[in-house]
Structure 1
Amino acid sequence: MKTMMAGLLTLLVLNTDMAAAQKKSNDGDLTHFPKGSTPAEIGKRVADRFVASPHPNFGKPTPPSRITYPEVCAWYGALTFAYESRDKGLAGQLTKRFEPFFTTEAAIVPAPDHVDHTVFGAVPLELYMQTKDSRYLDMGKRFADKQWGTPEGPHVKPESQAYADRGLTWQTRMWIDDMFMITAVQSQAYRATGDKAYIERAAKEMVVYLDSLQQPNGLFYHAPDVPYFWGRGDGWMAAGMSELLRSLPKDNPNRERIMKGYKTMMASLLKYQAPDGMWRQLIDDPEAWPETSSTGMFAFAMITGVKNGWLDKATYGPAARKAWLALVKYIDENADVREVCEGTNKKNNRQYYLDRGRITGDMHGQAPLLWCATALLRK
């Protein structure tokens, strides 16, 4: 009897241990999700919402004078999602949306004279990779090349030429947002052409920003004179490093420095993730509200890191999964994401950030959901 009881006890302990191990494994599982929260379902809903939406204008009721960067980011995300989900119908709709830029909507194609305008090139470059239509390549390269071309246009600053003389883009501003706007189009140009010059100069630029702006805790102030860790600002940097590292050749001399900056940031973000999976409007401020665009960007960075083996799956997989499942709860019946911080300039005032408007359906929030869905589907 004692032997039988001992055996049953051992079996119970083993089963408990196995269940605990299985639960731990499932917590970090980035492949299987409950029905209604799978990347295929969510990505499709948000992408279809994008297709049905008019060109946004930062919340204004009037049409934009030029295509805005939040739309570009969502468009890029929808295209990559269509590719990874093998949804040819969606890809066709996204391509059709672009066609007027060669004719009736040519006037609202932005000029490549500022980082927020030049990122537009990421979309035609993605279209070229998916369709092989040379019109898209020609347009996309024009944007990528101009970013490192001769300074000209209304946004040229006195320091623009000095940056160009250092081998940086003349569009350099030392705002953390730049590190997505610049790396996205340059990485895309490299992927489309195979010309390493594009991604090499983006990597050089990233190192300058890391050396200049990253704080000892791994995060980034909104600006050197604004000592606040604004969520979406840091999100642009996290997403930008992820996009760059995803394609940066392993023999690039700047890869090690960028990877160090990326991993330091990811480790810091782990400490500030709320129990519900969200990150906050001010990352390190427990009184700040949960904000979706930054959470989406950080989740994308962690998903990409785990999928590529840069981050430990047992550590970062659960954080990424928890963030994704939390974000899904912020999507309403129209496939609009809630609690998106409105467009935000810098200001050395904590209350300014806490009081920012919370928008529903803004492309700043829609885009990261699409990036996450794509990243979760990538092998």
Structure 2
Amino acid sequence: MKHVIDKWGKSIFVYLILMIVFPFVMPDEYYRSVGIIIGLQAIVAIGLCLVMGLAGQISLGQAAFWGIGAYTSAVLTTKYGLPVGVGLIASAIVPALFAFILGRAIAGLQGYYLAMATLAFGYIVQIGISEWDSVTGGASGMISIPKITFFGDSELSMYYLIWGVVTCVLLFSLNLLNSRVGRAFRAIHKSEIAATSMGINVRKFKLNAFVVSGMFAGISGGLYAHYIGILDPQPFGLHESIKFLTMVVIGGMTSIWGALVGTLLIGSISEGLVLMSEVIPGLQGDIDTIVFGGILVLIVMFMPEGLVPRIRTAYEKAQAKKRKASTVETQTVERKATT
């Protein structure tokens, strides 16, 4: 953790300040609820970043793990009367198990085949949720899911709970990035052949990333279920998986901070489209899918490394140029002094 503080201390400080003051700058309950939803999405996006940006895998089924986590906690607490805490723990464990099973099954797949396999898994999960009426409520969904009351049930307490979880996930991922495991992930992302020649068990590390990603999505899903209070299969399909994918790509697949920034941008755009649709009826429907698809295409074409890595590279070049100019100025002054 010390390495994380040394490397990202300023960024973490700014993040914490913005996270803490947001509910007071935007005291309206609507904006707090938007902040909560963005926080839930950020947990999923950070996990997806570990899979795509570090382990080099493509996943189009992240919303499926989100849905498994949501329904696991909802079923256990609503139908079986278990405490919310138990449901939330199960919402992390069950998706992780599904991710482990799926990861073992598709361990040998790459590229388009891997994407298609995760896409198929997403469809299977959504259809399963829709058809398993006796457990999930089917297409009608579930209602009366108990609220989380660990710190009260107000919008403000829920906001800080969700973003507290985001902070834990963020710090865990940054620490992982700077560990031996993170270095192995980056080696795999650059070249699996080279990583194998260095003695890295590629399949093992890919599976670990996939399981951690599924666990993060499940935790977010469980929190989502208890925050919303009702569930139906619709939010857990391909549309949401594409949204998560766009968040990671726009922010920068190789950057944990990029996943967070991408989530904030896409979440803000999504809410902006909702507000605009109330004024312009033509924007209602699946316009957000078109917008996100367009953003994804533009980012891949003109900024494939993502927003945060591009900004960091520009900043480092500016600093290098500034240091060079300072060195030249110092040398000029020294020459004048000697003459």
Q: TM-score, normalised by structure 2?
A: 0.24
Quick check: which one's helix share is greater?
2
Larger RCO, structure (CA 8 Å, separation 6 or more): 2
Q: TM-score, normalised by structure 1?
A: 0.22
